[in-house]
Chain A
Amino acid sequence: MSVTVRTIADDILVSLRQTFDDKKIQHSQVAYWIIVMANRLKSQHIAKRDSGAFLSTFTEVPVILPTVNQNKNIVRGRKHIVLPQTIYDFNNDRGIDYIAYESDGSPGCPPKFTKITFSRTTPKKSRVRYMSAYEKPSPKEPYFYRIGDFIYFLGVEQVYVPTVEIGIYMTIDPVTTIDIDAPFDFPDELVSQLKMEVLNLGRFSLLVPEERRNDGASSDQAAPTQKLVSVNQNQQQQPEQ
């Protein structure tokens, strides 16, 4: 992954012949298109392949225990973490590969050296989990569910869990924060596909006629001065003008 966003953007601007001073497509515009299309291609790539190439691990993510309710999504007394980065919204929350915590060895917990992985559930489905002796949330069998950017936990209410480790599939940083000279976190084999997709976007943009653009000038068309009435409305019911 030695390619950078700048390399791709420069290449595309050359292909679109947008290298002169008064060019219609700016460098930042192309960078934005690259990120939009790269996110799409990368998500498809991850969904298709069982690979750890784009898995990112965050350790010691702090577990928060709110003391007050706060709309929206923060509920008092419910342990949760905030997702460290934006992730792909795959089916069954597959954007989260795993969440694990290190047991402190307290009652009901395995020894401290073991790591326990959280299973996924949803707020609605979690009710069913409590119906089985084996599936009931517990320190040994903990669950997580996602609400927006918050990941809530079930089963670790009574044990001390200061931090968790999480493995996620992150989206590409937005154009406002990305370092375009840093190695681009994108599969090399899809760069050609990415270039083609961005070129298509750029070509479409160049094809849009000039008069379709809002240049701020006033239009010749006069604004209507009379109230518009439907042809289906009964004439007798029409209010007086």
Chain B
Amino acid sequence: MDISPASFVSIDELLNDILPLVDDERLEVNTKGYYTSMIQQALEALAFETFFDERRETEPFPVETLTMMMPKGAFNLRNVYIFNGTECNIWNSRKVWWKRNYYTKGKGYIANNKGEQTRDPFISGSSFLDRYESKELIRYRNTLDRAYFYEVQNGMVMFSKQCACYQSVMLEFNGTGCDIGDVPIVPMFLRAAVKDYVCEFTLRIRMAKDQTNKWGGLWKIYEQRLNMDERYGIGTGSWGKAQQFVKNMNTSQRAELKEYLSKNAW
């Protein structure tokens, strides 16, 4: 679900709630840095599970190497585009397609299927591929000027040579919520989950430090608040609720999708 960029919660706002819950208002058991780190980790975990953090980043196209590193904090590449012009004035853009097993370091490339006429007994269907227009997007030789493709390996994005005709590349990806070391800002709809996550984690520390185990009862409460879904179904724990909220469609999206589908126009 979409949310206004103004609807975020600051670290101090969260700490104001969290510190009394774990009886550490004097910041004696843990430091502010620790709590900030925990909030960042909560966001990170939510980002991996819900993909709530969607980002775009534009870089100059790596003409020499045809490879570039995925931006810091990026995972799950969603789309790749190349274009001419500037970010504020895009005048010629193309979508870049994913090609399986493609590998390059700038000159030449390796791929399972190059779309060439081949005598490979296992991949003998290049003539078969020629008959389908959609397949040519990931081929090279036969459609020299139109093949824009990429592959990702160990965080390196490798482009086909034809992409170098464009000035810039835009990556659309999911982010980890907040990079390590940055000050996290938490979307309002994740606030409850983040608070419970930090409380649950912190109370484990309190249990480790306090031999009397007087924190066990409280820890149990937060563990249940966080993970209640496992026992009582999706949407009952704060973590599950956050996941559900992120995955929900906007009312307009839902209504308009129904409209499209009903008219067979999608």
Stretch at the interface among A75-83, A130-138, A221-229: A130-138
Contact indicator per residue, chain B 46-58, by CB within 8 Å of chain A (1) or not (0): 0000000000000
Contact indicator per residue, chain B 20-39, by CB within 8 Å of chain A (1) or not (0): 00000001100111101100
**B67 → A minimal CB distance (Å):** 28
Among B27, B33, B34, B37, the most chain A Cβ lie within 10 Å of the Cβ of: B33
Q: Is the CB of B28 within 8 A of A141?
A: no
Contact indicator per residue, chain A 110-136, by CB within 8 Å of chain B (1) or not (0): 000000010110000000010011111
Q: Number of contacting residues on B, CB 8 A?
A: 11
Select one of A92, A119, A136 contacting B32, CB under 8 A: A119
Q: Is the CB of A134 within 8 A of B28?
A: no
Q: Is the CB of A132 within 8 A of B32?
A: no
| B40 proximity list for chain A (CB < 8 A) | 134
**Docked complex Cα distance between A130 and B191 (Å):** 28
| A143 proximity list for chain B (CB < 8 A) | 31
**A57 → B minimal CB distance (Å):** 16
Answer whether residue B108 sits at the interface, using C-beta atoms and an 8 A cutoff: no
Q: Is the CB of B28 within 8 A of A120?
A: yes
**Docked complex Cα distance between A215 and B84 (Å):** 105
Interface size class of A (residues with CB under 8 A): 10 to 19
| A119 proximity list for chain B (CB < 8 A) | 27, 31-33
A133-B180, A133-B181, A134-B181 as given contacts; A92 in contact with B28, CB under 8 Å:
yes
Residue of A nearest to B179 (CB): A133
Residue of B nearest to A97 (CB): B26
**Docked complex Cα distance between A129 and B27 (Å):** 15
**Docked complex Cα distance between A129 and B31 (Å):** 10
| A120 proximity list for chain B (CB < 8 A) | 28
Q: Is the CB of B31 within 8 A of A135?
A: yes
Residue of A nearest to B35 (CB): A134
**A121 → B minimal CB distance (Å):** 8
Q: Is the CB of A141 within 8 A of B181?
A: no
| A134 proximity list for chain B (CB < 8 A) | 33-34, 36-37, 40, 181
| A132 proximity list for chain B (CB < 8 A) | 33-34, 37
**B33 → A minimal CB distance (Å):** 4
**Docked complex Cα distance between A73 and B90 (Å):** 65
Q: Is the CB of B28 within 8 A of A135?
A: no
**Docked complex Cα distance between A92 and B29 (Å):** 9
| A94 proximity list for chain B (CB < 8 A) | 28
**Docked complex Cα distance between A117 and B31 (Å):** 11
| A135 proximity list for chain B (CB < 8 A) | 31, 33-34, 37
**Docked complex Cα distance between A3 and B28 (Å):** 35
Q: Is the CB of B180 within 8 A of A141?
A: no
Which are the 5 A-B pairs with shortest beta-carbon distances?
A135-B33, A133-B181, A134-B33, A134-B37, A119-B31
Known: A119-B33, A135-B31. 6 other contacts (CB 8 A): A92-B28, A119-B27, A132-B33, A136-B33, A141-B32, A143-B31
5 residue pairs bridging A and B, Cβ less than 8 Å apart: A119-B31, A120-B28, A135-B31, A135-B33, A135-B37
